[in-house]
Amino acid sequence: MLTMIIRIFVLVLPFFVITQTQVQAQDSDFQYQKTEVKGAISVLHGAGGNIGVLQGDDGLLVIDDGFVFNSGQLESALAAYGDAPRYVLNTHWHGDHTGGNAALGEATIVAHENVRIRLAAGSTVPGREAEPAPQAALPDFTYKEGMSIHFAGQEISAVHFPVGHTDGDSVIFFEPAHVVHTGDLFFSGAFPFIDPDSGGSVAGYTANVAAIIALLDNDTVIIPGHGPVSTLDDLKGFQNMILETTAAVRAFKADGKSLEEAQAQGLSEEWVGWGDGFINHPRWISILWSGTD
């Protein structure tokens, strides 16, 4: 019964949904889980977006910071590193990636300029309106195309990829570690959410995934916005899913089917498990339906 209720919420509130993971996250017993990535780079996960952490001799650089209601758990998880955050980079504005900004406000917060604009003004995703963020949660430094921070022996480059998941997406590259945090331009093994109300588009998202792939090689370790630490082959599989399911939706349209008929027929069995995350099969078909010719 709980699973059925959760799936209904996923359909109605496609992004800020009450998934089983988020219910767990609101439990006082919830703790972030740490996965070592490479060298001094690790990831905290368990609810909301994946949180990248680079540990240096004089502090931490953090990429994204989860939901606001997990701020206390995040502070505890970061305290276990023995250092305080010096820098926070936001990959985009959504609340499961920026909710901890205010709690980490003593650090320097960096993001694309559209992230600050949307946080300051308040914005919406389907099914929910976000109130303007407090001053402490707003990025201190913003950029149009990209910028680099030299920290802990790494050059951390934030590169803007426009009109994808939102209009403020950044992908974060670590060199020489050869690690990349994609933000929500990659949901490993799951259908992604694409937010047209925040300037995203299916065509832009698809193009951005191809552009990211062109920048990586088989030695790159990928921290996705959601899902396990991944490889280039995993990202290519994600790209293949987008291309094939987009083609399937175009075929539904060419056959004269309505959206409801397409949702009832569903996608190929190959993609069954991909609908177990934020976005289920009917919602993914709806996203593609609205975003393709």
Give SS3 for 141: strand
Is the CB of residue 236 less than 8 Å from the CB of residue 256? Answer: no
Per-residue pLDDT reduced to its tens digit, 54-67? 999 999 999 999 99
Distances (CA, A) of 277 to 9, 43, 115, 199: 12, 19, 24, 22
Q: How does pLDDT run across 93-147, given as a tens digit for each residue?
A: 999 999 999 999 999 999 999 999 999 998 777 667 788 999 999 999 999 999 9
Domain 2-291 coded CATH 3.40.1080.10: no
Give me the pLDDT at residue 130, please. 80
The structure tokens listed for 17 are 């949904």
Helix (H, G, I), strand (E, B) or coil at 271: helix
- Residue 242 phi/psi, 5-degree rounding, is -60, -45
Alpha carbon distance 234, 211 (integer Å): 15
Q: What is the percent of the chain where pLDDT is above 70? A: 90
Q: How high is the pLDDT of residue 275?
A: 97
Predicted confidence (pLDDT) per residue in 244-281, tens digit: 999 999 999 999 999 999 999 999 999 999 999 889 99
Question: Can you give the pLDDT at residue 24?
Answer: 42
**pLDDT of res. 124:** 73
In the chain, which residue ranges form alpha helices assigned H by DSSP? Answer: 2-12, 20-25, 71-79, 95-98, 113-121, 202-215, 232-254, 259-265, 281-291
The mean of the pLDDT values for the chain is 90
Angle at 210 between CA 204 and CA 214, to 5 degrees: 140
Q: Which of 87, 43, 49, 44 is nearest to 68 (CA)?
A: 49
pLDDT in tens, 4-47: 323 323 333 333 333 334 444 455 678 999 999 999 999 999 98
Cβ contacts of residue 67 below 8 Å, gap of 6+?
22, 25, 47, 48, 95, 96, 99, 100
The reported pLDDT for the residue numbered 26 is: 52
Closest CA to 190 of 67, 14, 31: 14
Rounded Cα distance, 9 and 21, in Å: 13
Note the pLDDT of residue 30.
86
Indicate the SS3 state at residue 5: helix
